[in-house]
Amino acid sequence: MKVKCPQCEEIAELGDDFSYVRCSHCSLDMTYGEYVKFIAYKDAKYSDILGDYANDNEGITSGTLDEW
Ligand SMILES: [Zn+2]
């Protein structure tokens, strides 16, 4: 079954028994469980609902100081 690759947005292959997801475009190779988690994690990042769930301080960027 064809699914959308969560990593490169190309067409990935989902095993008929839902046991794996593989993408030949970016060498993605994971179980379906991992795939679902991957999707959920991406969705969470997009919607920003679980912003403090995975708190890896990735969003901290010190910009230039505006001294008025
Ligand atoms: Zn891919």
pLDDT in tens, 4-59: 999 999 999 999 999 999 999 999 999 999 999 999 988 877 676 545 555 555 55
The rounded Å distance from CA 12 to ligand 1 centre is: 6
- The whole-angstrom separation of Cα 64 and Cα 14 is 46
Tokens of 9: 């947005």
Single pTM value for the model? 0.61
| Cβ–Cβ under 8 Å, residues 5 and 28 | yes
| Residue ranges with CB less than 5 Å from ion ligand 1 | 5, 7-8, 10, 23, 25-26, 28
Q: What is the DSSP letter of 57?
A: S
**pLDDT at residue number 5:** 94
Average pLDDT of the segment spanning 61-67: 60
The rounded Å distance from CA 31 to ligand 1 centre is: 14
Whether 1 shows a pLDDT value over 80: the answer reads yes
**pLDDT at residue number 42:** 84
Could you tell me the CA-to-CA distances from 21 to 42, 59, 64 in Å, in that order?
16, 29, 43
